[in-house]
Structure 1
């Protein structure tokens, strides 16, 4: 019986240990953190309204907020699936412009006009407009926007920001890492069996 190849066995063992460690990290650390975070977000709609924050912090998602959209204001349409398009205003003033979702429309040629002013609503995620490949290669930090409670004239009301829009994939990630570790062990065992004298 041949001895196990030391270096390759050590490398496979280290790789398997790393994958198991990553799975445990997702399962025992990241998953409880995300569940606690989602519980906080679920309670946010009942909390008092705040001024729209000037920096991104996802702990404010789904919180009621007020703000003032300063001119100049530009409005663009962003795809919104079954709702058609979202009319999103970019407000002037400040290094990071405030974004306001004014309402939705099914008309791809709509040109909503808004001069800005006071607005109230709920804090949600702003679309980043990146493709899946672009997001994987050059991920952008998430931005927040104020989803107006009252739509601009001519637009349909905004749906309330949905807690389901915040992904919680950590259990799936943990299972994935454990499967990777198992597959690596099986492949290495097959490779050892193939090089065994009895397999010839």
Structure 2
């Protein structure tokens, strides 16, 4: 390879790879705009106080557009119970007590409230009012407000706390693209120098 000649196939491969990385970076920027719009919509839902049924249909399926809207349901039967890590409204760490309920519209998960112990309180079902929040096996659950079964209030859900790392991901893809091009350019330059040294020795 004479000095100044750029290897075609490796160069095309690196440029295509860098172009894909740049495209992924711009895709992440697009996802950033979508996520910001989604969070704004959820914040508007939280302020509107417009109730929505939960689950959204009789098959027990929820509609993502209903997140952060208030709702009401009737827990006709408690199917199972669990305690997960949760934070109280006053910021204290502890446990969120959760039940899966049978309802007239299908099954639904309900966060009954907060306690400082994992021991489950006595709860046999009944009327539930609260907020539709992300989480659970179904993708959404109801956080009871007011809390039930003598439990304390859980921290109020905040749409702004939803994961939104797309800007960081975009930066990573752009950085990878620049790094790949720089490393390849340095490799080609080093190869040229080796060819020059070999030519001078002849």
Q: TM-score, normalised by structure 2?
A: 0.82
Q: How far, CA to CA, are the matches of 1:123 and 1:153 in structure 2?
A: 19
SS of the equivalent of 2:76 reads strand
1:101 paired residue number: 111
CA shift for structure 1 position 93:
6.0
- Measured at CA, do residues 33 and 117 of structure 1 come closer, stay the same or move farther in structure 2, by a change above 3 Å? same
Q: What per-residue deviation string (whole Å, max 9, x for no partner) do you get for residues 135-178 of structure 1?
A: xxxxxxx6100000011233111221111331222211211111
Distance of 1:72 and 1:157 partners within structure 2: 20
* Total equivalences in the alignment: 185
CA distance in 2, matches of 1:149, 1:196: 71
User: Larger Rg: 1 or 2?
Assistant: 2
Give the CA RMSD over aligned residues. 2.2
Between the aligned partners of 2:147 and 2:135, the Cα distance in structure 1 is: 17
Match of 1:158 in 2: 154
Q: Does 1:186 align with 2:182?
A: yes
* Residue in structure 2 matching 1:75, options 81, 90, 94: 81
The equivalent of 2:200 in structure 1 is: none
Please list, as runs of the form range in 1=range in 2, the aligned pairs for 1:133-152 lying within 5 A after superposition. Answer: 143-152=139-148
1:33 corresponds to 2:34: yes
Which runs of 5 or more residues in structure 2 are unaligned?
198-202
Q: Secondary structure at the match of 2:190?
A: helix
Matched, 1:42 2:48: no
8 Å CA contact 2:78–2:99 kept in 1: the answer is no
Aligned positions of 1:9-28 closer than 5 A: 9-27=11-29
Q: Name 2:124's counterpart in structure 1.
A: 115
Contact (CA 8 Å) 1:77, 1:86: kept in 2 or not? yes
Aligned equivalent of 1:89: 99
